[in-house]
Chains A and B, each alone.
Chain A
Amino acid sequence: DGGITQSPKYLFRKEGQNVTLSCEQNLNHDAMYWYRQDPGQGLRLIYYSQIVNDFQKGDIAEGYSVSREKKESFPLTVTSAQKNPTAFYLCASSIGESIEQYFGPGTRLTVT
């Protein structure tokens, strides 16, 4: 089955620790994205990547880092510099620009 996988579904970390969220797609899409969703709010773009070995900051990149070494994979690291890391994180991919994005099931991160 083609799709986007994110693991784990739930993640718990202590404050001050970095944590990496996984995102893998087998749709052969060039572009990949990371969004953050807080309760009662829409999605906010953290980072996106148009192509392998290239990525751009979104609207709320501070405290996050990404890499895009393979077309299929776009991991997101939530660093200890992120002030409010507890949120629902969604990964997405698309064939290109201005086209619909397809989303993974999300990872719910709780930092205490």
Chain B
Amino acid sequence: AQKVTQAQTEISVVEKEDVTLDCVYETRDTTYYLFWYKQPPSGELVFLIRRNSFDEQNEISGRYSWNFQKSTSSFNFTITASQVVDSAVYFCALTPSNDYKLSFGAGTTVTVRA
């Protein structure tokens, strides 16, 4: 069974502050994939990143960066110099290799104040 824990329910920051979202997962599979999604107030989930369990390189995309640490079963997400448009619910998710089913965390609500 897979489990994804996002311990932070809500985070509130002032614009231009950095914000880090924690994601801890549990799985017995040796090969698996991790994802981050953004859900803005409109409700539609937007795919941000997919990372496989063999690739522990950190990734940066613009103001977004991801830190994958297999040793601690964590896949944390940092928004640098946050903007009001970053206000959303962010979900971390996990799926084993060769599986269709995604297990989602409960989500972290990020509010960026101007």
Interface residues of A (CB under 8 A from B): 31, 33, 40-45, 48, 50, 56, 58, 88, 90, 92, 94, 97-106, 108
Contact = CB atoms under 8 A, between A and B. Distances in A.
A96 to B, nearest CB: 8
Contacts of A108: 43
Given A41-B106, A45-B102, A100-B35, A106 B95 contact: no
A43 B9 CA distance: 15
A42 B35 contact: no
Nearest to A50: B100
Interface residues of B, number: 25
Interface in B5-42: 9, 33, 35, 37, 42
Contacts of B99: 97-98
28 contacts: A41-B106, A42-B91, A42-B104, A42-B105, A42-B106, A42-B107, A43-B104, A45-B101, A58-B101, A88-B43, A90-B43, A92-B45, A97-B99, A98-B33, A98-B95, A98-B96, A98-B97, A98-B100, A99-B50, A100-B47, A100-B50, A103-B44, A103-B46, A103-B47, A105-B42, A105-B44, A106-B43, A108-B43
Contacts of B96: 98
Interface string B75-108: 0000000000000000100011111111011110
Contacts of B42: 105
Contacts of A90: 43-45
A44 B98 CA distance: 19
A92 B107 CA distance: 18
Contacts of A103: 37, 44-47
A56 B105 CA distance: 22
B43 to A, nearest CB: 4
B22 to A, nearest CB: 15
A99 B105 CA distance: 17
Contacts of B33: 98-99
